[in-house]
Structure 1
Amino acid sequence: MIMPRDNIDILIIGAGIVGVAAAAILAESGRKVLVVDRQGICEGTSSGNAGALAFSDILPMASKGVLAKVPGWLMDPLGPFTIRPSYLPKLLPWLYRFWRASSADMLEHTVRAQGAMMRLAEPEMLGLMQRAGLGRMVREDGSLELYESEDELNASLSGWNARRAAGIAFEHLRGSQLRECQPGLSPRFIAGTFVPGWKTVSDPKHVGEGLWNYAQRNGAIFYQGEVASISAGEQGAIAHFADGRTINAAKIVVAAGAWSHHLAQNLGDRIPLETERGYNTTLPVGAFDLKRQLIFSGHGFVVTPLETGVRVGGAVELGGLKLPPNYKRAEIMLSKAEQFMPGLQSKGGRQWMGYRPSTPDSLPVIGTSRLTDNVLYAFGHGHLGLTQSGVTARLISDLIGGHASSISIDPYSPKRFRS
């Protein structure tokens, strides 16, 4: 299509799940919305995630003693959490903030902030999907986190206690209860934790496309192009494209995932955003009789039943945006899944890698630029982009409309990184 130039109320940079959700909520309120992306609607990381609506996932990646694990991450290129040694020098400033985020005070602050967001995330996302006619895509089967030893279960209890304090329901299972919850597991798993409120979707890409169709029905339009930089305008903001063209808009929302911090830097906002590279393999439909999402936390991956197949994936590789993929990581997870789920049909899978945009404290960046209130940020959700897309869209809509939000957005403000 011809690139629009005039009368743009809101320009959203990024057509991943956060950008699309923002377009849907803003368009249904009557705003004139243009979404720009260098690929297409949910063609990037939002297309291949694990499909979880993880409203109970309030614990950050940073934890006590986390930096003591860095040598191990460097030594094991195929472990559940790894750092490419060549990338370590560039990563050090982020790791320093990651270490600071692991202090007891910061952890308590993060859990409170994440809990507040999650309490609003569930009604916002489920409500948006219902209004978009996508309610059938939500699966309310719960999740099952699995343990191979008593020590592994005991090590998880502090996290479950924090969830209990936040009002999250769960039940530890053993023996026949565990086998009934998911038949066909290896006997190596001696216990599991069932979370009934955990939800998944039939396919994350289909959800993104469905939300975009809803936004489009309400007047939102899409243009494929690459925004190279943004700047403040006299009465709004300006998007500068890689091909030299520009678009003026009253408001610009940066929701470009792992690329967002490059655009924020144009406006003087230095956001410590890193890229968790995640891998998966999607097996054909019927590869295993999977009752719900299985979480193998000790190995850093999950297995999800989708309408398009069985997805085996997860893990964290801190390696930026430019290093080539290491698909051996996907192969290792699939090999482990074969051991953990005897009978899994592991042939005919499709491999994939995506870029999760992650902050040191695991909280997203939601707020306005230091230079102009006409540029807003909506990125940095890490593993929780799908889960928190609806609430992020609502908070962005409140900011643009000048409405008071249901929760304070101070914990998610870009200003928290200025010290």
Structure 2
Amino acid sequence: MNAAVEEIDIAIIGAGIVGIAAAAYLVDAGCKVMVLDRTGICEETSSGNAGAFAFSDVLPLAHKGMMRNVPKWLADPLGPLSIPPAYLPKLLPWLYRFWRAGAPANYEASLAAQAGLMKLAEQEWASLMARTGASSMLREDGSLELYESNAEFKDALPSWAARDRFGIACRHLDKSELADYQPGLADRFTRGTFVPGWKTVSDPKDLGKAIWRHAEARGAAFVKGDVGLVRPTGDRVLIQLKQGRTLFAQKVLIAAGAWSHLLARQLGDVIPLETERGYNTTLPSSAFDVKRQLIFTGHGFVITPLATGLRVGGAVELGGISRPPNYARSKAMLAKARKFLPGLDPSGGREWMGFRPSLPDSLPVIGGSRSHPNVHYAFGHGHLGLTQAAATGRLVRDLVLGQRPPLDLTPFSAQRF
């Protein structure tokens, strides 16, 4: 007996923060939306991130400073950037594209596109949080980036100069000023940079749930299921769940994070997406009195005070979606955190790993399928999914409704590769 076939207007594949934000924008515009996900609302990568609205984080990952550090980092299996040796052959084409993205012309284009998306993201998050009743979850304490030597600080100055071109304010601090921004730091830190415009949220999973409650109250529906097939048929799109359920949608948005490129490939779009596997440990809030997000760029991780605990995490492991977690990485970051904050209590922590969908030029894919006008994409935000979700939701709404978006979407096209 054939499974029941259902007709829906707009199907969003993926219930992470990007998909949920898109759902909110679409239902606010009067659209009927169904969200499909194999687990639940913001239950995977969107649940365990560092909780930052990193609007000042406009530099592509392949910027000059990072490229210089890559060999050193790769030599440390528990350092800021790691590649499992067995995965390296599969990763080489992506790494070549990543290296090319650091060329001056490519770098400048990506920087400008990212800065434009970030400006829109800040505006749209303010609007989205206001109308979903989530504004109380916003924290505007700024961030503190820390350096262990004057040489490390000087190496960072070009990146701050690049941000300054886009109006991103910062204040460089001497060693004597650091305790005013974060008491209890180890003596090893010699300089710091305070970014007043950096924002965080009280908990990223809670924020995603709040946005979904708004969307659901306006008619958005959720279906738990693992999408195995997406295939345009005439003027509709067939969606087949691995559990056997079949749906037909007038329009589809693929926002399935690190799995999105697998679905895009079914539609003829080959997109070089890789997975930044991020790790963290969330400690009880009593572990240390952290005043604002602390960023340890030289070590590739952050410490964020959340309403639900103190989150220690970050780093990048380029290892795909099928390898088992390597929690030695979260333990290594926690050990460093104890050195950087000597009074930190490391007990009672919860370890976690998430999959960040990453493209070589650090820009997401936001736009249409090559051959199917009723299929759109919104994925590949890397470690900026939370930050850019509201902007992406706004842009998706404009695309689906045939309205002119506020940004040129050419840099974000799925066909740019």
Identify the TM-score tier after normalising by the shorter chain. over 0.9
Q: Distance in 2 between matches of 1:315 and 1:33?
A: 35
Residue of structure 1 equivalent to 2:405: 405
Following superposition, the deviation at residue 111 of structure 1 comes to 0.5
Residue of structure 2 equivalent to 1:236: 236
In structure 2, the CA distance between the partners of 1:141 and 1:251, relative to structure 1 (3 Å rule), is same
The 8 Å contact of residues 365 and 413 in structure 1, kept in 2 or not, is answered as yes
Residue of structure 1 equivalent to 2:37: 37
The 8 Å contact of residues 5 and 245 in structure 2, kept in 1 or not, is answered as no
The superposition leaves residues 35-94 of structure 1 with CA deviations (integer Å, 9 ceiling, x where unpaired) of 000000001000000000001100011123866755545432111111110000100110
Q: Distance in 2 between matches of 1:389 and 1:265?
A: 23
Q: Distance in 2 between matches of 1:268 and 1:311?
A: 39
Q: Distance in 2 between matches of 1:236 and 1:56?
A: 40
Q: Does 1:198 align with 2:194?
A: no
The 8 Å contact of residues 141 and 196 in structure 2, kept in 1 or not, is answered as yes
Residue of structure 2 equivalent to 1:256: 256
Q: Distance in 2 between matches of 1:67 and 1:299?
A: 15
Give 3-state SS (helix, strand or coil) of 2:286's partner. coil
The 8 Å contact of residues 4 and 245 in structure 2, kept in 1 or not, is answered as no
Following superposition, the deviation at residue 126 of structure 1 comes to 1.8
Identity of aligned residues (%): 60
Residue correspondence of structure 1 range 13-412 to structure 2 within 5 A: 13-64=13-64, 71-412=71-412
The two structures have a TM-score, normalised by structure 1, of: 0.97
The 8 Å contact of residues 327 and 351 in structure 2, kept in 1 or not, is answered as yes
Following superposition, the deviation at residue 241 of structure 1 comes to 1.4
Q: Distance in 1 between matches of 2:284 and 2:194?
A: 26
| Letter in structure 2 aligned against 1:47 | S
Q: Distance in 1 between matches of 2:108 and 2:40?
A: 38
Q: Distance in 2 between matches of 1:68 and 1:124?
A: 35
Q: Distance in 2 between matches of 1:175 and 1:369?
A: 51
Gapped runs of 5+ residues in structure 2?
none
The 8 Å contact of residues 117 and 407 in structure 2, kept in 1 or not, is answered as yes
| Letter in structure 1 aligned against 2:155 | A
The 8 Å contact of residues 4 and 246 in structure 2, kept in 1 or not, is answered as no
| Letter in structure 1 aligned against 2:144 | L
Q: Distance in 2 between matches of 1:166 and 1:67?
A: 23
> Would you say how many aligned residue pairs link Structure 1 and Structure 2?
415
Gapped runs of 5+ residues in structure 1?
none
When the two chains are superposed, the root-mean-square deviation of aligned CA atoms in Å is 1.3
The 8 Å contact of residues 74 and 85 in structure 1, kept in 2 or not, is answered as no
The 8 Å contact of residues 70 and 81 in structure 2, kept in 1 or not, is answered as no
| Letter in structure 2 aligned against 1:281 | T
Q: Distance in 1 between matches of 2:203 and 2:68?
A: 37
Residue of structure 1 equivalent to 2:9: 9
Deviates more, 1:71-80 or 1:354-363: 71-80
Give 3-state SS (helix, strand or coil) of 2:287's partner. coil
Query: Where has structure 1 moved over 6 Å in runs of 4 or more?
Result: none
